[in-house]
Amino acid sequence: QKEGTAAVPPPFENMRCSQSKSRGKLLAVTFLAVLVIAHYKLMKTIQTQFRSKYTLLMFTAVVGTLPLFFVRWAAKLERRMAASRKQRNENSEAEFLPPESELGDKIDEHSTEQNIGTEHRSEDSRHRCCCWLIPPEVLNRTRPSILLRQAVYIGVMNSLGFFASVAAITNTPLWISMALFKVDCAFNLALSVLFLGEKCSVLKVSGSLMSLAGAAVLSVSAYLTRNSGGQENTLFGDVASLSYALILSFLMVGWKFFLKDFSWPLLLTLNGMASCVQVVLMLPVLAWAYGSNTEGAHWSSPGAVIGWCLLNGFVSLLLAIWWSFCIGFTSPTYVAVAGVAVVPLTTLLDYLTDNIHLHWLDGVATAVILSGFFLTKYGYDLSESKNQQYQEVEDRHLINSDQSEYEHRAANPVFGMGQHGEELKTDH
């Protein structure tokens, strides 16, 4: 590089960055699938042995408040990592930066002092009215009232989703409710386009529809081979299943909107505060369940129930944190389609552990679902690559404009302010 010129990214650098981010997304949803399968088996064990629903949700909500005690630790760690990255960037770019004029340095110092003073004033004023658990990194990005509304939204939607899923499973055969649950792929794509401004492509729509079709085929296979309960279908159960899919879609789009300025302290704060809202909502429901002997009357070992519910609470906490991270890191539609891909894996696990019957349609459904997932993934990778190309064009435009300004300053050294403060006008 010549002296005074800015560093330009080497060829294919953005392409390598895009490929690395694509692999990161795939690893993130893969780990999410492992957590979903573990949570599914744990929930099935608890429901089979103890038939506990409301106690299970209550313990899940109570354990879900624990992230509030780790928000400040996460903020300190994020602050140190940001300082380290800033130092590395300054060291690597120092030799390419053009020398600034004394006037520019004074202006930058003055503006920096003003910004620091403003940040301190806003931080102090917000600290007076907020809980000591929430660090200033979160309060400087989001006002406390907005943060509270977001937490209430997440907590209410989580509770409504739980009750909708229970109503769907108890009033509709599992093979029908499972297919209707996966309509959230289409709901997520539509809501992302409407509220998040996401660009809708043919690949994304095709992948979502293929995953939905695969879930439907898997449900037909479950009806042919594993529908031994003889449960009757009701319109109320179908509406509850579709309501659950819609609630889950609004929840995922909400998470993506709240985490548009992503940070781990913000994610932990929202999860913890939302769990507090769930605890408040579940207290009267739990009192009714125990008062009417709907739950707890047939438990032979209450200690075992509490132990299993606590274990499920910690697994659910890890799943909730990683699920919200995947939504913020990727997209609600991407995560929803990956959730459909988990269904064949849970079916295979049930076959290995519970000796359930399989049908050849299970293989067809698995192939269709995986094809839809990788088609959706390719659509998002292609969109990410185009965004990288646009960003590269903008970066080069900024580099050229900065270089032109530097050359102009070098050619006009007296451009600026005069000795007594008057402005020196030039022909330029």
Helix %, strand %, coil % for the chain, to 5? 80, 0, 20
239 alpha carbon, distance to own chain's centre: 27
Side-chain-side CA neighbours of residue 359 (13 Å)? 14
Side-chain-side CA neighbours of residue 372 (13 Å)? 30
Res 75: pLDDT: 83
Q: How many angstroms separate the CA atoms of 47 and 167, rounded?
A: 15
- The two tokens of residue 151 are 């937490």
- Using alpha carbons only, what angle is made at residue 247 by residues 296 and 182, rounded to the nearest 5 degrees? 95
Side-chain-side CA neighbours of residue 193 (13 Å)? 10
Say which residues have a Cβ less than 8 Å from residue 64's Cβ, sequence separation at least 6.
271, 272, 274, 275, 278, 313, 316, 317, 320
pLDDT band at 39 (very low <50, low <70, confident <90, very high): confident
Which alpha helices (DSSP H) does 102-197 contain, by range? 102-128, 136-139, 144-171, 174-181, 184-195
What is the rounded average pLDDT for all residues in the chain?
Answer: 77
383 alpha carbon, distance to own chain's centre: 19
* Beta-carbon count within 10 A of 114 CB: 10
Res 415: pLDDT: 47
Res 137: pLDDT: 65
Report percent pLDDT > 90 for the chain.
17
Which alpha helices (DSSP H) does 50-101 contain, by range? 54-63, 71-93
Residue pair 342/37 in contact (Cβ under 8 Å)? The answer is yes
Structural Rg of the chain based on CA atoms: 27
pTM: 0.76
Is the confidence at residue 160, as pLDDT, over 80? yes
Say which residues have a Cβ less than 8 Å from residue 129's Cβ, sequence separation at least 6.
144
Of the candidate ranges 5-19, 222-236, 237-251, the one whose mean pLDDT is the lowest:
5-19
Is the confidence at residue 7, as pLDDT, over 90? no
- The two tokens of residue 237 are 């159960």
Length of the chain: 428
Is the confidence at residue 76, as pLDDT, over 90? no
- The two tokens of residue 71 are 């928000």
> Mean of the pLDDT values across residues 351-376?
83
pLDDT band at 341 (very low <50, low <70, confident <90, very high): confident
pLDDT band at 356 (very low <50, low <70, confident <90, very high): confident
Give the residue with greater pLDDT, 67 vs 137. Answer: 67
Res 228: pLDDT: 53
One-letter amino acid for residue 394 of the chain: E
pLDDT band at 18 (very low <50, low <70, confident <90, very high): low
pLDDT band at 370 (very low <50, low <70, confident <90, very high): confident
